[in-house]
Structure 1
């Protein structure tokens, strides 16, 4: 067995070792620099979305609902016959219409939406012209498909890291350092930013509803950005 003196020596050595580790952990780190690099790219929209609606009014709510349902079913049948077009029902609601005094219900009004999506702009544009013969257009917009979004973000992540390294090297040279160590690095996607719809496009949609012709479309693009935020420690000679 160990005697008391030996145990005391061992405990003292262990205490000194722990104090040394604690001191190292609390040592201040010098020559740290926070940096940020950002890269961005314009990405062409590759998905087209069109929302149609049917709206009517009748004194008989059951008759009204049947009319709206018939129009939607016919439109969905037409849309499903076009290859590459995704079809989905949107919102649908009805509400009472009151007389001038607001006391008695005189009729019911109902509105239902149908949403179409496709990567084939030509096919959906032609279908839009046909759909406008029976439905009205609530809106048209363009977006970027999820696989395209992921591929572009992955590519930009590599560019953002390369840009951060270049900036870190510049900072090191400016401080007269011999090199640097990476302390931390955070990569963030700034998302996609689409321009606001133009009034001319909205007026064109109104004209299409009246003329029921195949609309010409311009998909446009969105900007995606990825940033690299990090801290480096410059090693001085």
Structure 2
């Protein structure tokens, strides 16, 4: 009688060993992924202008000296304006050829000066004043890091709340009695204004060298915080 029962024992053990796997599969049942987002418009509070000096000369040494003197003069003037951050950008030179590229007849050099400030009026006027020696390559507006972080912190709670509301809606739609949060990831993003808006302002200043700086509309960007996660719906 005992010999007949022995073969059944491995089957029972195998069935018991499979219970954790079945429980694990069951715990993943009715898991769904959800996405929620909160966003708001935040006004730009930072202005960045890139100006450049460009010239051509047969003597590369003299050319480099002329460009350096022009930049140094602009930097000195810019540093006298309170609240303006000054830095040098890209600088490069290249040969100018004639005779179908067989002979170098001159050298051309270009160097950038980058200005940044939260005082739009002061930076706009400074840029206009420097147009006697420099030209404008680019003007753009942005949200300062501290302002963006403050806005994202305020949106984070809204995004989490929106995710919870969507989770409850999904639970009711499935006929569940509740849900458990399995995972939740939070992320942020910003939308940059169209490039043509920046170029238009740069051209306006560039064509009116020596004239008073025009009024500036800095605009705004939409800052968003997203919540992506997985919930497990509990069925009654």
How many pairs align? 223
1:1-237 matches, cutoff 5 A: 20-27=19-26, 29-198=28-197, 200-208=200-208, 210-237=209-236
Distance 1:233 1:159 in 2: 22
C-alpha contact 1:190 1:225 (8 A) present in aligned 2: yes
Which deviates more, 198-207 or 80-89? 198-207
C-alpha contact 2:187 2:225 (8 A) present in aligned 1: yes
Task: Give the TM-score normalised by structure 1.
Answer: 0.84
Which runs of no fewer than 5 residues in structure 1 stay unpaired? 1-13
Which deviates more, 76-85 or 174-183? 174-183
**Cα deviation, residue 87, structure 1:** 0.5
Distance 1:17 1:186 in 2: 36
Task: Give the TM-score normalised by structure 2.
Answer: 0.85
Distance 1:218 1:26 in 2: 58
Distance 1:213 1:97 in 2: 36
CA RMSD of aligned residues (A): 2.2
Deviations 1:171-195 (A, max 9, x none): 2222332221112222222333323
C-alpha contact 1:172 1:178 (8 A) present in aligned 2: yes
Distance 2:211 2:131 in 1: 5
C-alpha contact 2:89 2:111 (8 A) present in aligned 1: yes
Distance 1:145 1:223 in 2: 14
> Residue 58 and residue 122 in structure 1: after superposition, are their counterparts in 2 closer, same or farther (change >3 A)?
same
> Residue 20 and residue 178 in structure 1: after superposition, are their counterparts in 2 closer, same or farther (change >3 A)?
closer
